[in-house]
Amino acid sequence: MSHHESQPSESLPLKPIPGGYGLPFFGAIKDRYDYFYNQGRDEFFRFRMNKYKSTVFRTNMPPGPFIASNPNVVVLLDAASFPVLFDMSKVEKKNVFDGTFMPSTGFTGGYRVCSFLDPSEPKHKAIKSYVLYILASKHNEFIPVLSNSLSHLFTNLENELSSSEKKEANFNTLSDDASFNFFFQLFCNKMPEEANLGSKSNTLVDKWLLPQVAPLITFNKLPKFLSFIEVLLIHTFPLPSFLVNSDYKKLYDAFYSSAGPLLDEAGQRFGIERDEACHNLVFLAGFNSYGGLKVLFPALIKWIGLAGESLHRRLRDEVRTVVEEEGGVTFGALEKMSLTKSVVYEVLRIEPPVPFQYGHAKEDMVVKSHDASFEVKKGEMIFGFQPFATRDPKVFERAEEFVAARFVGEGEKLLKYVLWSNGRETDDPTADNKQCPAKDFVVFVSRVFVVEFFLRYDTFEVEAGTLLLGSSATIKSLTRKA
């Protein structure tokens, strides 16, 4: 337990929020260049935090002109202030899923899908209840379907390692492939190939995802002088949905024809039109679930790999002992693996798959950091950058380090500061909040991944890098279970 951990006291001084937005239009352009090119994402926040000596300040968030009508935000970078973004009585979450702009509904069949709805909108309750129902109804299929997908993933990994000239395997591409197959099989009871999606179905999803998130990413391996071309192409005007219409239609048709029983329930139980239910299902499977694992699985492999062989030994001992005692990989077995659980939470803490949270203030309010209070006016956009809030040195000791056993035993008390799911790890998603409906499912899938991995391998070596939306992991060696 950290010695600093304390609730902000009532008597914190009220201060004006430091920082600012610069000149209209040009201030946002300057901040955009700082964010993508001059400083880079993390340094952008760190520099301003140090400059203003505050974890709460004003700045502009990309993409800025002409994609976002208003780039001005109040930034929250600590564990004390961040949770105001989960309080549905204080913030509105309408159309802020991607931040200061909203991609065209052309990407989602003309509907605003659940992620863009505020709980105050009648549709939100129906669709989120439907999503929670889908996940609950698939509960008993999780483990067998996932184990099957993972066993394909590991076979492909070994094949690539042994056949590539460099004797290494790109984990991300194999993982993406396995992740999408898993979700499609879970929701549709068949493989993507059986639904006319071809063997590389996840590339359809990638092509559909990219233009929606393009305003928020940079292909930062470009030489500096090309950055203005990138700004013009993806940071100045939204990419139109017609670029990916045919890819999206293929996905939609595959779900529509294969997920019949789930879509029947949408109308019968929740009063949602079949067409709208299907667009939400594609978004759930493609954006929320596959998009999340696209970042999370490589992060798991990266952090566990870099931690080295002593952690691998402890994990495989725990996994193999418990699986033997329990007679297999079961929900009960997963609950007993305290180190495995802790490792998954620690990866979610140190590299949360969704780094941004946004909301509009519903009323004038006071937001408290550890050492001051700040007035936020009704209508202002509040933005939380999660990796700073979950690495808050006032809550976590050695906050920047990956500590595998951080959440074992007494450490479990710190779980309320693990905020990756648009809510606290200790909270539950409901139809009335904006916490990720698949929160427990994601934790669970990650645990099964670690378990299946260490049932099969003793240790491995990894080289880490960065990609558009997270870490890349290249497997250098794998040692099969003796």
Residue 221 pLDDT greater than 80, yes or no: no
- 198 within some domain: yes
pTM of the model: 0.96
> Would you state the pLDDT for residue 224?
76
pLDDT in tens, 314-325: 999 999 999 999
* Mean of pLDDT over the chain: 95
> Would you state the pLDDT for residue 225?
79
Q: What CATH number is associated with residue 108?
A: 1.10.630.10
For the residues 350-359, what does the mean pLDDT come to? 96
Residue 200 pLDDT greater than 90, yes or no: no
- 2 within some domain: no
Radius of gyration of the chain (CA): 22
pLDDT in tens, 447-460: 999 999 999 999 99
- According to DSSP, residue 19 is labeled B
Does residue 224 or residue 1 have the better pLDDT? 224
Query: Residues of the chain with pLDDT > 70: what percent?
Result: 98
d(CA 67, CA 71): 9
Write out the residue range of the structural domain in which residue 465 sits. Answer: 14-480
* Domain total in the chain: 1
For the residues 194-215, what does the mean pLDDT come to? 94
Residue 1 pLDDT greater than 50, yes or no: no
- Tell whether the torsion through CA atoms of 423, 424, 425 and 428 is positive or negative: negative
Q: Which pLDDT band holds residue 9 (cuts at 50, 70, 90)?
A: low
For the residues 433-438, what does the mean pLDDT come to? 95
Q: Three-state SS string across 223-239, please?
A: CHHHHHHHHHHHHCCCC
pLDDT in tens, 233-254: 999 999 999 999 999 999 999 9
Q: Which pLDDT band holds residue 2 (cuts at 50, 70, 90)?
A: very low
- 171 within some domain: yes
pLDDT in tens, 301-312: 999 999 999 999
For the residues 427-432, what does the mean pLDDT come to? 96
19: β partners: 58
d(CA 380, CA 58): 11
Alpha helix (H) ranges present in 271-403? 274-283, 291-307, 309-326, 331-336, 338-350, 386-389
- 7 within some domain: no
d(CA 293, CA 173): 12
> Would you state the pLDDT for residue 7?
54
Residue 4 pLDDT greater than 70, yes or no: no
Alpha helix (H) ranges present in 327-435? 331-336, 338-350, 386-389
Query: Beta 72-76 vs 14-15: how paired, if at all?
Result: unpaired
Query: Residues of the chain with pLDDT > 90: what percent?
Result: 93
Q: Structure tokens of 357? A: 């949270």
Cα distances from 469 to residues 89, 223, 355, 394, 441, in angstroms, run 31, 19, 10, 28, 21
Half-sphere exposure of 190 (CA within 13 A, CB side): 16
- 8 within some domain: no
- 6 within some domain: no
> Would you state the pLDDT for residue 222?
73
pLDDT in tens, 369-426: 999 999 999 999 999 999 999 999 999 999 999 999 999 999 999 999 999 999 999 9
Query: Beta 72-76 vs 381-385: how paired, if at all?
Result: parallel
Q: Structure tokens of 99? A: 């931040």
- 5 within some domain: no
Asked whether the beta carbons of 44 and 19 are under 8 A apart, the reply is no
Residue 3 pLDDT greater than 60, yes or no: no
> Would you state the pLDDT for residue 226?
84
- 3 within some domain: no
Peptide bond just before 460 cis, omega within 30 deg: no
Residue 5 pLDDT greater than 60, yes or no: no
Q: Which letter, b or e, does each residue of 199-221 get, where b requires 16 or more Cβ atoms within 10 Å of its Cβ?
A: eebbbbbbebbbbbbbbbbbeee
> Would you state the pLDDT for residue 219?
85
